[in-house]
Homo-oligomer: A and B are copies of this chain.
Amino acid sequence: MKKIKIGILGCGTVGSAVDKLVHKNHALIHSRTGINLEVTKIADVSPRVHHPKLVRDAHRVTEDPDISIVVEAIGGEHPALEFVLSAIKHGKHIVTSNKELIALHGEQILRAAEEKGVMVRYEAAVGGGIPILGPLSHDLLANDITEVFGIVNGTTNYILSKMTRDGVEFAEALAEAQKLGYAEANPQKDIGGYDASYKAAILAGTAFGHLVNWKDVSFEGIAAVTQEDIRYAAEIGYVIKLLAVAKKAHGACEVHVHPTLVPKNHPLATVLGPMNAIYVKGNAVGELMFYGPGAGGMATASAVVGDIIAIANAKCQMTNARSKAMHVRSANETVSRYYIRLTAPDRHGVLAGIARAFADEKVSIAAVTQKETIGKTATIVIVIHQTREENLSKAIGRLKKMRVVRQVCNIMRVGI
């Protein structure tokens, strides 16, 4: 009977859920795996609850000779990085749900772990409770994975779902998300697309088996999405989702996060509220979807404790990104369809001028709708065919210089 002692860094939502889950399912885990798990210490500088295992100094966890696995549940870059490196230095295996830490410092952490001969696992960093890095690292190894994409941030998905369903503006949906605990007091990491970009980098690295530098991930958040865009998108058969996308072709990849118009009948369009869903395309299996809760204490703890069991089994090391880095294409090198909403005076010749600006930059228009006129201003919604962002940017530059264009209100990607 293996007795495995666990130390947890951080006693917030995730840390306390991990402690609770190890206790709750202890007998079941033991009967199925023969492993005897025990959380012996939880470190937190400002614990919100009293707990017999609580210590204030993280080093009492990272340096405890009895502890073999350290769960990092602090979040953010610092001091999580320093504590994790200290734990590795003291020979501990690491389990973390911290996407920012892995996306920004994964290479350094994995190198330190390799030198020390310890394991690092981070299933909970992407998709919360959904097993996705495990399947990509093991079950799907027979495949050349060419694409991974999906909804990986519950906060923004809740906000967009609410804007779509209730017809409210971004600010109101955000306030509601904060009230329900789906968004933090400072929601910038979620709504600015940072969180999704960290996850996109980790997904790409795991799926393609190469290091993907987070700095190469282009991303934007959802703060610019308006009720007007949601309505116009609906009219042409789409819903707006924040998608994380990683595609591989010809030895390089593209990794990006953008608000995207998703066809209404696509399964991703039906992923609502705080749920996550990740598509995987492989050259043998075809298309798979993994769907489940992307956040929440117990769901995240499910993945964390799954990683703990895998380490305790001393099997199933996650396929870490190879040291060889992969070229990530810049946004300028990638192609997409786009939705553009702009305003212009409601008079003849305007559309012709706009069409010419696109044509001059070899950007081809797929559909145009002139929407309701307010005063003398018309709203024009344009969907363009596959184009490089570079060409689009030049065309938009032309539009902005044209007298007949009042404002380019929003630009979003279209399709999956």
Task: Tell me the A283-335 residues at the B interface (CB within 8 Å).
Answer: 283-293, 296, 298-299, 301-306, 308-310, 315-317, 319, 322
A166 at the interface (CB under 8 A from B): no
Find chain B residues with CB under 8 A from A32 CB.
141, 209, 319, 322
In whole angstroms, how far apart are the Cα atoms of A285 and B21 in the complex? Answer: 10
Is A216 in contact with chain B by the CB < 8 A criterion?
Answer: no
> Contacts of A235 on B, CB cut-off 8 Å?
none
B299 near A284 (CB under 8 angstroms)? yes
Assess whether A292 is in contact with B288, with CB atoms less than 8 Å apart: yes
A171 within 8 A of B: no
Q: Which residue of B lies closest to A296 (CB)?
A: B286
| In contact, A142 and B25 (Cβ under 8 angstroms) | yes
Whether A135 touches B142, Cβ cut-off 8 Å, given contacts A285-B129, A287-B293, A290-B290, is no
Known: A135-B135, A267-B270, A282-B302. A21 touches B142 (CB 8 A): yes
The DSSP consensus for interface residues of chain A is mixed
**Nearest B residue (CB) for A18:** B142
A143 contacts partner chain B, Cβ-Cβ < 8 Å:
yes
Do A288 and B129 form a contact, CB below 8 Å, given A143-B25, A144-B25, A302-B143? yes
Chain B: CB-nearest residue to A292: B288
Residues of A206-248 contacting chain B, CB below 8 A? 209
Which of chain B's residues has its CB closest to A309's CB?
A: B141
* Bound-state Cα–Cα, A130 to B286, Å: 10
**Is A138 in the interface zone, CB < 8 Å from B?**
yes
Q: How far is the CA of A208 from the CA of B267 in the complex (A)?
A: 29
Inter-chain CA distance A129–B287, complex, in Å, is 9
Q: A33 near B: Cβ within 8 Å?
A: yes
B291 A291 Cβ-Cβ under 8 A: yes
A-B contact pairs, 25 of them (CB 8 A): A21-B142, A25-B142, A25-B144, A25-B284, A32-B209, A129-B284, A134-B138, A134-B139, A138-B310, A139-B303, A140-B306, A142-B301, A142-B302, A142-B308, A142-B309, A143-B302, A267-B291, A270-B270, A284-B298, A285-B299, A286-B296, A290-B290, A290-B291, A315-B315, A315-B316
| A129-B284, A138-B309 known, 18 other contacts, Cβ within 8 Å | A21-B142, A25-B144, A25-B284, A31-B209, A31-B322, A32-B319, A130-B285, A131-B288, A141-B309, A142-B301, A267-B270, A270-B270, A284-B302, A286-B292, A286-B299, A288-B292, A289-B292, A315-B316
Q: CB within 8 Å of B: which residues of A?
A: 21, 24-25, 28-29, 31-33, 123, 129-131, 134-135, 138-144, 209, 267, 270, 282-293, 296, 298-299, 301-306, 308-310, 315-317, 319, 322
The 10 closest A-B pairs by CB, nearest first: A142-B305, A131-B139, A284-B302, A285-B302, A129-B285, A288-B292, A289-B291, A315-B315, A134-B139, A131-B135
